[in-house]
Structure 1
Amino acid sequence: MAEGTRERLLEVGLMQMRSVGYGAAGMKELLDEAGIPKGSFYHYFPSKEAFGKAVLESYGAGEMARWQRIVLEGKGAPLKRLRRYFEDLIATYGPQNKISGCLMGGMSLEIADHSDTIQAALKHAFAGWRQGLASLLEEAMERGDLARSAKPDELAGLLLDAYEGALLRAKAERSNAPLENFLKLAFGTLLVKP
């Protein structure tokens, strides 16, 4: 039961932080939605900051499962799997959804400057994401799908930055156009063998 309570708090916290942000996520609303007494929250999380870090880590675990399913267990050439991965992210987090945007991007904008704990968790999550992208790009380079002169780690950083920026613009404009442009340029120009 104890693990179920913690998981329920994280589940509701993730929904709340994705919909209204970290700062506006209220304790009373969280506890009411989760059906959990206030004392139980502090049994699992000493502060809202610790809770925010745990929500971010839970979100990251879900995103790792997506990566595992689409990229690591998926079939096809590395760049085809990478494109399917980004298409799945866009279908999940694009502006056509009730709640759009990436929790990591949102928390970076909202709280990273004010919390060393959250900033460190974000830095770790983005580094892991970049490393996964770089490994896949290295695989593509070894297969001859990218030029031998390609720099997988730099390309991974650029893809990550471009995706997060396109997602932010898509949210601001309530349009998939920035995300479609990201896909077009990433896979039609940037990640092609010369």
Structure 2
Amino acid sequence: MAKKKHEDTREHLLAVGESILKGKGFSAVGLAEILTAAEVPKGSFYHYFPSKEHFGCAVLERYFALYQLGMQALEAEYDCGSERLMHYWRTWLMSQGACSQANQCMVVKLSAEVADLSEPMRQVFKQGTDGVIERLAKWLDEPRCEGAVLPEMSPQAVALMLYQMWLGASLLTKIRQDSSALETAMQTTCHLLGVKDL
């Protein structure tokens, strides 16, 4: 029972922390704000995390673990790699195009801020994004994705190119406060994958 309570409190802190960090970033948020929102005493926080940086790493590790679970669910839902990929990009367009804090991509929100501040957090971002790109490459490498253009490029190279394009489009969406960059990314993706724009 004590272990379950321990896990619940830690998970609660991470979930609350992610919500706050999505809105304000990492540097602008103090532990007091997170502890107040989570209704957890300061002593309890340090029982789970030695520092704010360790907490930040744990938030990001949790974020990428849940993100991978979402990608894994798409593998169960769609047999065809190209359908799976297009669902993934459509979901990205809808979530990031809405410019909603709740749907904020943690990579877009925090990576540039923390990469120069915290080497451990930068490493978590690197491992997390590498994992996403690796899974996208796996989908591209499936036989039913053979119709994609640029056959001279490896699935890994195409996955990296697409992921970079969508991250950049998401940043422009934040700047412009409209989804035009993401819509362009979708058109380019459809062209590269040889599918019709849905």
Partner residue, 2:9: 5
1:31/1:37 contact within 8 Å kept: yes
Instruction: State the alpha-carbon separation in 2 of the partners of residues 143 and 67 from structure 1.
Output: 17
1:101/1:168 contact within 8 Å kept: no
Residue identity opposite 2:57 in structure 1? K
CA-CA distance at 1:96 after TM superposition: 4.0
Instruction: After the TM superposition, list the runs of 4 or more consecutive aligned residues in structure 1 that deviate by more than 4 angstroms.
Output: none
More divergent stretch after superposition (106-115 vs 86-95): 86-95
TM-score, length of structure 1 as denominator length: 0.91
TM-score, length of structure 2 as denominator length: 0.89
Matched, 1:94 2:97: yes
Partner residue, 1:131: 134
Instruction: State the alpha-carbon separation in 1 of the partners of residues 102 and 175 from structure 2.
Output: 13
Question: 1:111 aligns to what SS in structure 2?
Answer: helix
1:56/1:104 contact within 8 Å kept: no
Once the two structures are superposed, residues 134-184 of structure 1 have per-residue CA deviations (whole angstroms, 9 ceiling, x without a partner) of 1111115x6532355341010010011001000110111110111111011
Partner residue, 1:190: 192
Residue identity opposite 1:157 in structure 2? L
Partner residue, 2:39: 35
More divergent stretch after superposition (128-137 vs 102-111): 102-111
Question: 1:25 aligns to what SS in structure 2?
Answer: coil
Gaps of 5+ in 2: none
Once the two structures are superposed, residues 38-95 of structure 1 have per-residue CA deviations (whole angstroms, 9 ceiling, x without a partner) of 000000000111000000011111211210122x112252112101111112322333
More divergent stretch after superposition (117-126 vs 103-112): 103-112
Residue identity opposite 1:39 in structure 2? G
Instruction: State the alpha-carbon separation in 2 of the partners of residues 76 and 130 from structure 1.
Output: 19
Question: 1:73 aligns to what SS in structure 2?
Answer: helix
Residue identity opposite 1:166 in structure 2? A
Q: Give the CA RMSD over aligned residues.
A: 1.7
Residue identity opposite 1:158 in structure 2? M
Partner residue, 1:167: 170
- Percent identity, aligned pairs only, is 33
CA-CA distance at 1:115 after TM superposition: 1.1
Matched, 1:176 2:179: yes
CA-CA distance at 1:107 after TM superposition: 1.9
1:13/1:30 contact within 8 Å kept: yes
2:82/2:145 contact within 8 Å kept: no
Residue identity opposite 2:160 in structure 1? G
Matched, 1:153 2:156: yes
More divergent stretch after superposition (161-170 vs 56-65): 56-65
Residue identity opposite 1:176 in structure 2? S
Equivalences for residues 20-59 of structure 1 within 5 A: 20-59=24-63
Residue identity opposite 1:144 in structure 2? E
2:139/2:145 contact within 8 Å kept: no
Count of aligned pairs between the two proteins: 190
Gaps of 5+ in 1: none
